[in-house]
Structure formats: C-alpha cells, structure tokens
Amino acid sequence: KKVNIALTYIFGIGPKIAEVLNKKGIYTYADLSGSKVGDLRDYLATADLSQHDPSTWKKQATLAKNEKWDELETLQAQLDGGRE
C-alpha cells in the first residue's frame, strides 16, 4: 500500500514516520488530529523512532484539517526541532 505523503507536510513527519502512522490507521490530517500524543509516542518507539517528538503534530494536523495554512506556516516557523 502506498504511503500517504500528505502527512509529511506536518513538521517532524517524514516518509518513514508517515509509513508508521499509516500502518496504525492514520492517513489524514483528521486521523492525526484525533490521535493521542501518548499513542503516537508508542508508535514511534515501536518503530525505533522515539527520538522524534510528536507533541505538536495534533495541533499542526488540526490546522491543516481546517485548511488554516497561514496559521500552520506561522506555527511551523516557530517550532524548534518540532517543539513549541
């Protein structure tokens, strides 16, 4: 199954993490915005990717889901290594 690369627009998510999320049923911004950060951390740990911080992914995904691209870009510009 092809990886949904739309998730890679979220700061901190590359193709490898998108693939991990897809395997857990997370394909869209709506899916990601409804996820629990603890679950995301578990998925990353299981895939040996625990060095990545998913703490802002829900917020970013919510902005993307609502097509608030300017706000998303502003938030992403403020992120430091994926953290607010």
Mean of pLDDT over the chain: 91
Q: What is the dihedral of CA 33, 38, 49, 14, to 10 degrees?
A: 10
Q: What is the rounded distance in angstroms from the CA atom of residue 68 to the CA atom of residue 42?
A: 28
Per-residue pLDDT for 1 more than 60?
A: no
User: Do 47 and 14 touch, CB atoms closer than 8 A?
Assistant: no
- Residues above pLDDT 70, as percent of the chain: 90
Using DSSP's 3-state secondary structure scheme, residue 49 falls into: coil
Residue 60 CB coordination number (10 Å): 25
Under the banding of pLDDT at 50, 70 and 90, the label for residue 3 is low
- Residues above pLDDT 90, as percent of the chain: 85
Q: What is the rounded distance in angstroms from the CA atom of residue 75 to the CA atom of residue 69?
A: 10
pTM for this model (two decimals): 0.89
User: Looking at residue 83, what is its pLDDT?
Assistant: 61
The 10s digit of each residue's pLDDT in 45-70 is: 999 999 999 999 999 999 999 999 99
